[in-house]
Amino acid sequence: MFLLTEFDEYAPKTENFKKNKMIFNSGDGVYIPMKYANEILTSENFMIKIVAENPNNSEKKIVYAKAVKYDAPENSIVVPQWMVANLGLNYGDVVNIESVNIDPITNIKFVTQKNIIDPTSILEFELRHKNILTCGDVIKSKIFEKSYDFIVKEIETTSGPKNIGSLYDNNVVSNIIFEIDYN
């Protein structure tokens, strides 16, 4: 059992604090205690599944993350704000975590709006802090006051089509397919 901890409580307030917080909250990396690194991270890709169980029913909510730092406070996991929201929890709540193997992505299909100039470059920029993608994820981008959404429609990994795939140490960006939504 791990306590969900906010970046603000964990990180030192240095001159780069705001920039580091923004980068942390836009990605899918988490910080875990060193004590648990060997127990939890049994795979080479350091991916973990964070499970929130609702005590009032049998519903479980899951998010996937990559352990990127191993100096979180004892029995805590430092997670981005969007993960806490997706789990339907608050900072200070308790979750379980376990190691998972996630196959590398070989091809990916996005649905996006029409009239985007150079969508591949936009995605390269937006995906730089992402390690894991799941079907249905929405990658948001804002350029010159204009917002763009890229929805993950299909993922193909080294072991075939899946609902989840790893971007970690992978050259997926050269294998992107776009489907235009004209609505």
Whose structure tokens read 């004892």? 74
Mean pLDDT in residue range 60-71: 85
pLDDT category at 98 given cuts 50, 70, 90 is confident
pTM of the complete model beyond 0.85: no
Q: Which pLDDT does position 68 carry in this prediction? A: 83
CA distances to 18, 28, 140, 150 from 147, rounded to whole Å, are 22, 21, 7, 10
Q: Are 99 and 41 in contact (CB under 8 A)?
A: yes
Task: Examine the pLDDT at 44 and tell me if it is beyond 70.
Answer: no
Q: Which pLDDT does position 131 carry in this prediction? A: 84
Q: Are 36 and 127 in contact (CB under 8 A)?
A: no
Q: Are 171 and 180 in contact (CB under 8 A)?
A: no
Task: Examine the pLDDT at 156 and tell me if it is beyond 80.
Answer: yes
Mean pLDDT in residue range 22-41: 77
Whose structure tokens read 């992978």? 170
**What HEC string does the chain produce?**
CEEEECHHHHCCCCCCHHHHHHHHHHCCEEECEHHHHHHHCCCCCCEEEEEEECCCCCCEEEEEEEEEECECCCCEEECCHHHHHHHCCCCCCEEEEEEECCCEEEEEEEEEECCCCCHHHHHHHHHHHCCEEECCCEEEEEECCEEEEEEEEEEEECCEEECEEECCCCCHHHHEEEEEECC
pLDDT in tens, 110-150: 888 777 888 888 888 888 878 888 898 888 888 888 888 88
% of the chain with per-residue pLDDT over 70? 87
CA distances to 13, 20, 93 from 7, rounded to whole Å, are 10, 9, 15
Among 57-66, 124-133, 169-178, name the one with the lowest average pLDDT: 169-178
Mean pLDDT in residue range 92-96: 89
Mean pLDDT in residue range 159-179: 74
| Antiparallel, parallel or unpaired: β 146-157 and 138-143 | antiparallel
% of the chain with per-residue pLDDT over 90? 2
What domains does the chain contain, in order, with CATH numbers? 2-100 (2.40.40.50), 105-181 (3.10.330.10)
